[in-house]
Amino acid sequence: MMISTLNSDSNKPLIMAILNVTPDSFYDGGLLFNNNNVSLDLVTKKVEELIKSGADIIDVGGESTRPGAIVVSQQEELDRVVPVVETLVERFGVSVSVDTSTPTVINESARVGAVMINDVRALTRVGAIQAVATSGLNVCLMHMAGEPNNMQIKPNYTDVFAEVSKFLLDRVNVCELGGIDRKKILIDPGFGFGKKLEHNLTLFRGLTELSELGFPLVVGLSRKSMIGSILNKPTDDRLFGSIAFAILAVQKGVQILRVHDVSATADALKILSVVEGVGNI
Protein backbone atom coordinates (compact mmCIF):
# COMPACT_ATOMS: atom_id res chain seq x y z
CA MET A 1 0.00 0.00 0.00
CA MET A 2 1.47 3.34 -1.00
CA ILE A 3 1.52 6.30 1.37
CA SER A 4 -0.72 8.30 -0.98
CA THR A 5 -3.66 6.11 0.02
CA LEU A 6 -3.71 7.95 3.34
CA ASN A 7 -5.54 10.71 1.53
CA SER A 8 -8.22 8.29 0.30
CA ASP A 9 -11.28 7.04 2.15
CA SER A 10 -9.43 4.07 3.62
CA ASN A 11 -9.51 3.95 7.43
CA LYS A 12 -7.14 1.00 7.72
CA PRO A 13 -4.25 1.84 10.03
CA LEU A 14 -0.85 1.19 8.51
CA ILE A 15 2.09 -0.56 10.11
CA MET A 16 5.43 1.17 9.64
CA ALA A 17 8.18 -1.35 10.39
CA ILE A 18 11.34 0.05 11.95
CA LEU A 19 14.51 -0.95 10.09
CA ASN A 20 17.52 0.46 11.91
CA VAL A 21 20.69 0.25 9.84
CA THR A 22 22.63 1.69 12.76
CA PRO A 23 25.01 0.13 15.27
CA ASP A 24 23.58 1.96 18.30
CA SER A 25 19.76 2.17 18.18
CA PHE A 26 18.19 1.55 21.57
CA TYR A 27 16.48 -1.78 20.82
CA ASP A 28 17.94 -3.39 17.71
CA GLY A 29 21.09 -1.47 16.86
CA GLY A 30 23.74 -3.48 15.05
CA LEU A 31 21.58 -6.49 14.20
CA LEU A 32 21.89 -5.85 10.46
CA PHE A 33 25.64 -5.28 10.48
CA ASN A 34 28.43 -7.62 9.44
CA ASN A 35 32.07 -6.63 9.99
CA ASN A 36 31.00 -3.08 10.92
CA ASN A 37 29.08 -2.62 7.67
CA VAL A 38 25.40 -2.89 6.82
CA SER A 39 24.72 -6.36 5.38
CA LEU A 40 22.27 -6.25 2.47
CA ASP A 41 21.75 -10.01 2.85
CA LEU A 42 20.65 -9.59 6.47
CA VAL A 43 18.52 -6.58 5.49
CA THR A 44 16.64 -8.42 2.74
CA LYS A 45 15.98 -11.43 4.97
CA LYS A 46 14.66 -9.15 7.70
CA VAL A 47 12.44 -7.15 5.34
CA GLU A 48 11.03 -10.28 3.72
CA GLU A 49 9.99 -11.36 7.21
CA LEU A 50 8.51 -7.92 8.00
CA ILE A 51 6.43 -7.86 4.81
CA LYS A 52 5.11 -11.37 5.41
CA SER A 53 4.20 -10.33 8.95
CA GLY A 54 2.09 -7.41 7.74
CA ALA A 55 4.30 -4.35 7.30
CA ASP A 56 2.85 -1.69 4.97
CA ILE A 57 5.86 0.64 5.12
CA ILE A 58 9.53 0.02 5.86
CA ASP A 59 11.12 2.93 7.73
CA VAL A 60 14.88 2.92 7.13
CA GLY A 61 17.08 4.86 9.52
CA GLY A 62 20.83 5.35 9.31
CA GLU A 63 21.27 7.64 12.31
CA SER A 64 20.22 6.64 15.81
CA THR A 65 17.93 9.17 17.53
CA ARG A 66 17.84 7.45 20.91
CA PRO A 67 18.48 9.71 23.93
CA GLY A 68 22.16 10.61 23.99
CA ALA A 69 22.79 9.53 20.40
CA ILE A 70 25.69 11.05 18.48
CA VAL A 71 25.10 12.70 15.09
CA VAL A 72 26.69 10.74 12.24
CA SER A 73 28.39 12.26 9.21
CA GLN A 74 26.43 12.87 6.04
CA GLN A 75 28.54 10.39 4.09
CA GLU A 76 28.14 7.68 6.71
CA GLU A 77 24.38 8.11 6.69
CA LEU A 78 24.32 7.99 2.89
CA ASP A 79 26.42 4.82 2.85
CA ARG A 80 24.08 3.12 5.30
CA VAL A 81 20.74 4.21 3.87
CA VAL A 82 20.83 4.61 0.09
CA PRO A 83 21.89 1.05 -0.88
CA VAL A 84 19.26 -0.35 1.49
CA VAL A 85 16.45 1.79 0.05
CA GLU A 86 17.45 0.96 -3.51
CA THR A 87 17.60 -2.77 -2.73
CA LEU A 88 14.21 -2.83 -0.99
CA VAL A 89 12.43 -0.92 -3.75
CA GLU A 90 13.94 -3.06 -6.51
CA ARG A 91 13.50 -6.41 -4.78
CA PHE A 92 10.19 -6.01 -2.97
CA GLY A 93 8.45 -2.97 -4.47
CA VAL A 94 7.54 -1.99 -0.93
CA SER A 95 6.78 1.54 0.27
CA VAL A 96 9.98 2.83 1.88
CA SER A 97 10.20 5.73 4.30
CA VAL A 98 13.54 7.17 5.34
CA ASP A 99 14.14 8.40 8.86
CA THR A 100 16.48 11.32 8.17
CA SER A 101 16.98 15.06 8.64
CA THR A 102 19.77 15.43 6.08
CA PRO A 103 18.94 17.16 2.75
CA THR A 104 21.41 15.11 0.70
CA VAL A 105 20.02 11.87 2.15
CA ILE A 106 16.50 13.10 1.32
CA ASN A 107 17.48 13.77 -2.29
CA GLU A 108 19.32 10.48 -2.74
CA SER A 109 16.52 8.49 -1.07
CA ALA A 110 14.01 10.02 -3.48
CA ARG A 111 16.27 9.16 -6.41
CA VAL A 112 16.32 5.47 -5.52
CA GLY A 113 12.59 5.17 -4.86
CA ALA A 114 11.66 6.19 -1.31
CA VAL A 115 8.11 7.57 -0.98
CA MET A 116 8.35 9.36 2.35
CA ILE A 117 10.71 11.19 4.70
CA ASN A 118 10.25 10.71 8.44
CA ASP A 119 12.09 13.60 10.10
CA VAL A 120 12.46 13.86 13.88
CA ARG A 121 13.65 17.45 13.35
CA ALA A 122 10.60 18.45 11.26
CA LEU A 123 12.71 19.69 8.31
CA THR A 124 14.49 22.36 10.38
CA ARG A 125 17.93 21.66 8.90
CA VAL A 126 19.01 24.10 6.21
CA GLY A 127 17.91 22.81 2.80
CA ALA A 128 15.61 20.08 4.10
CA ILE A 129 12.34 21.76 3.10
CA GLN A 130 13.67 22.46 -0.40
CA ALA A 131 14.82 18.84 -0.74
CA VAL A 132 11.36 17.49 0.11
CA ALA A 133 9.57 20.09 -2.01
CA THR A 134 11.77 19.32 -5.03
CA SER A 135 11.44 15.56 -4.63
CA GLY A 136 7.68 15.61 -4.11
CA LEU A 137 7.97 13.07 -1.30
CA ASN A 138 5.51 12.71 1.55
CA VAL A 139 6.93 13.90 4.85
CA CYS A 140 6.22 13.25 8.51
CA LEU A 141 7.00 16.22 10.75
CA MET A 142 7.81 15.26 14.34
CA HIS A 143 8.14 17.33 17.49
CA MET A 144 11.39 17.06 19.42
CA ALA A 145 12.60 19.38 22.19
CA GLY A 146 16.32 19.86 21.58
CA GLU A 147 18.52 17.23 19.94
CA PRO A 148 18.89 13.49 20.68
CA ASN A 149 22.08 14.12 22.67
CA ASN A 150 20.34 16.53 25.08
CA MET A 151 16.57 16.16 24.68
CA GLN A 152 16.01 14.26 27.92
CA ILE A 153 17.93 16.72 30.10
CA LYS A 154 15.18 18.35 32.17
CA PRO A 155 12.45 18.71 29.50
CA ASN A 156 10.00 21.39 30.60
CA TYR A 157 6.65 22.65 29.29
CA THR A 158 3.96 25.02 30.53
CA ASP A 159 1.30 23.22 28.46
CA VAL A 160 2.82 20.31 26.57
CA PHE A 161 -0.20 19.61 24.35
CA ALA A 162 -0.62 23.25 23.31
CA GLU A 163 3.11 23.71 22.72
CA VAL A 164 3.54 20.53 20.67
CA SER A 165 0.40 21.26 18.60
CA LYS A 166 1.57 24.81 17.89
CA PHE A 167 5.02 23.64 16.89
CA LEU A 168 3.61 21.09 14.43
CA LEU A 169 1.15 23.55 12.88
CA ASP A 170 3.87 26.20 12.60
CA ARG A 171 6.13 23.71 10.83
CA VAL A 172 3.28 22.76 8.48
CA ASN A 173 2.87 26.42 7.55
CA VAL A 174 6.59 26.90 6.97
CA CYS A 175 6.70 23.76 4.83
CA GLU A 176 3.75 24.93 2.75
CA LEU A 177 5.42 28.28 2.19
CA GLY A 178 8.50 26.35 1.10
CA GLY A 179 6.57 24.54 -1.62
CA ILE A 180 5.49 21.29 0.04
CA ASP A 181 1.96 20.16 -0.81
CA ARG A 182 -0.19 20.16 2.35
CA LYS A 183 -1.68 16.82 1.29
CA LYS A 184 1.76 15.22 1.56
CA ILE A 185 2.31 16.20 5.20
CA LEU A 186 1.87 13.90 8.20
CA ILE A 187 2.51 14.77 11.86
CA ASP A 188 3.96 12.97 14.90
CA PRO A 189 3.90 14.32 18.50
CA GLY A 190 7.25 12.67 19.19
CA PHE A 191 6.71 10.44 22.18
CA GLY A 192 9.90 10.21 24.21
CA PHE A 193 11.67 12.99 22.32
CA GLY A 194 12.27 15.63 24.97
CA LYS A 195 9.39 14.53 27.20
CA LYS A 196 8.99 13.10 30.68
CA LEU A 197 6.42 10.37 31.35
CA GLU A 198 3.81 12.94 32.41
CA HIS A 199 4.30 14.83 29.12
CA ASN A 200 3.98 11.65 27.06
CA LEU A 201 0.77 10.64 28.84
CA THR A 202 -0.77 14.08 28.38
CA LEU A 203 0.01 13.96 24.68
CA PHE A 204 -1.36 10.44 24.36
CA ARG A 205 -4.63 11.42 26.03
CA GLY A 206 -4.94 14.24 23.48
CA LEU A 207 -4.33 12.13 20.38
CA THR A 208 -7.97 12.33 19.28
CA GLU A 209 -7.79 16.12 19.29
CA LEU A 210 -4.43 16.02 17.51
CA SER A 211 -5.85 13.70 14.85
CA GLU A 212 -8.53 16.31 14.13
CA LEU A 213 -5.98 18.90 12.97
CA GLY A 214 -6.38 17.56 9.44
CA PHE A 215 -3.16 15.58 8.94
CA PRO A 216 -2.51 11.82 9.07
CA LEU A 217 -1.12 11.04 12.49
CA VAL A 218 1.97 8.87 13.03
CA VAL A 219 3.09 7.59 16.43
CA GLY A 220 6.11 5.66 17.61
CA LEU A 221 5.62 4.10 21.03
CA SER A 222 7.19 0.72 20.45
CA ARG A 223 9.22 -0.51 23.47
CA LYS A 224 9.97 3.05 24.59
CA SER A 225 11.05 4.10 28.07
CA MET A 226 7.58 5.44 28.90
CA ILE A 227 6.35 1.84 28.76
CA GLY A 228 9.25 0.76 30.92
CA SER A 229 8.42 3.49 33.43
CA ILE A 230 4.82 2.34 33.71
CA LEU A 231 5.52 -1.40 33.85
CA ASN A 232 8.96 -1.28 35.48
CA LYS A 233 10.27 -3.61 32.77
CA PRO A 234 13.38 -3.56 30.54
CA THR A 235 13.23 -3.04 26.78
CA ASP A 236 13.01 -6.75 25.97
CA ASP A 237 9.89 -7.15 28.15
CA ARG A 238 7.81 -4.28 26.73
CA LEU A 239 5.99 -6.08 23.90
CA PHE A 240 2.61 -6.32 25.61
CA GLY A 241 2.77 -2.70 26.74
CA SER A 242 3.65 -1.67 23.18
CA ILE A 243 0.65 -3.55 21.77
CA ALA A 244 -1.70 -2.00 24.35
CA PHE A 245 -0.54 1.49 23.40
CA ALA A 246 -0.82 0.67 19.66
CA ILE A 247 -4.46 -0.40 19.94
CA LEU A 248 -5.37 2.59 22.11
CA ALA A 249 -3.63 4.89 19.63
CA VAL A 250 -5.63 3.54 16.67
CA GLN A 251 -8.84 4.00 18.65
CA LYS A 252 -7.82 7.63 19.10
CA GLY A 253 -7.42 8.21 15.35
CA VAL A 254 -3.78 7.33 14.66
CA GLN A 255 -3.25 6.18 11.07
CA ILE A 256 0.33 4.93 11.12
CA LEU A 257 1.97 2.89 13.87
CA ARG A 258 5.78 2.85 13.83
CA VAL A 259 6.75 -0.45 15.45
CA HIS A 260 9.46 -3.04 16.01
CA ASP A 261 7.06 -5.98 16.45
CA VAL A 262 5.14 -6.20 13.18
CA SER A 263 3.51 -9.62 13.53
CA ALA A 264 2.14 -9.00 17.02
CA THR A 265 0.88 -5.56 16.02
CA ALA A 266 -0.81 -6.92 12.89
CA ASP A 267 -2.57 -9.62 14.94
CA ALA A 268 -3.83 -7.06 17.45
CA LEU A 269 -5.11 -4.77 14.68
CA LYS A 270 -6.86 -7.73 13.02
CA ILE A 271 -8.72 -8.48 16.25
CA LEU A 272 -9.65 -4.82 16.64
CA SER A 273 -10.95 -4.53 13.07
CA VAL A 274 -13.12 -7.66 13.37
CA VAL A 275 -14.52 -6.64 16.74
CA GLU A 276 -15.38 -3.19 15.38
CA GLY A 277 -17.02 -4.72 12.33
CA VAL A 278 -14.70 -3.20 9.73
CA GLY A 279 -12.55 -6.27 9.03
CA ASN A 280 -13.11 -9.80 7.77
CA ILE A 281 -12.17 -13.06 9.45
Q: Give the pLDDT confidence of 204-237 residue by residue, as tens digits.
A: 999 999 999 999 999 999 999 999 999 999 999 9
pLDDT tens, residue by residue, 249-280: 999 999 999 999 999 999 999 999 999 988 78
Q: How far apart are CA 38 and CA 24, in angstroms?
A: 13
3-class SS string, the chain: CCHHHHHCCCCCCEEEEEEECCCCCCCCCCCCEECCEECHHHHHHHHHHHHHHCCCEEEEECCCCCCCCCCCCHHHHHHHHHHHHHHHHHHHCCEEEEECCCHHHHHHHHHCCCCEEEECCCCCCCCHHHHHHHHCCEEEEECCCCCCCCCCCCCCCCCHHHHHHHHHHHHHHHHHHCCCCHHHEEEECCCCCCCCHHHHHHHHHCHHHHHCCCCCEEEECCCCHHHHHHHCCCHHHCHHHHHHHHHHHHHCCCCEEEECCHHHHHHHHHHHHHHCCCCCC
Phi, psi for residue 58 in degrees, rounded to 5? -110, 120
Q: Which domains does the chain have, with CATH numbers?
A: 3-275 (3.20.20.20)
Q: Which residue did the predictor score with more confidence, 24 or 115? A: 115
- Residue 35: which pLDDT band, with cuts at 50, 70 and 90? low
How far apart CA 132 and CA 44 sit, in angstroms, is 27
- Per the DSSP assignment, residues forming a β-bridge with 117 are 98, 139
How much is the pTM? 0.91
Evaluate whether 189 touches 210 at the Cβ level (below 8 Å): yes
48-79 pLDDT tens trace: 999 999 999 999 998 877 666 677 899 999 99
Q: What is the mean pLDDT of residues 141-149?
A: 85
Q: Is pLDDT above 50 for 8?
A: no
Give the pLDDT of residue 79: 92
| Residue 39 to residue 153: CA distance in whole angstroms | 34
Among residues 113, 146, 112, 106, the alpha carbon closest in space to that of 129 is found at 106
According to DSSP, the β-strands at 138-142 and 116-119 are parallel
**Angle 190-161-61 from CA coordinates, rounded to 5°:** 5
Which residue type sits at 8? S
Mean pLDDT of the chain: 91
Q: At residue 46, what are phi and psi to the nearest 5 degrees?
A: -65, -45
Residues tagged active-site? 224, 258
Instruction: Find all residues with CB under 8 Å of 3, minimum gap 6, and list them.
Output: 57, 95, 97, 115, 116, 138
Are 219 and 207 spatial neighbours (Cβ–Cβ below 8 Å)? Answer: yes
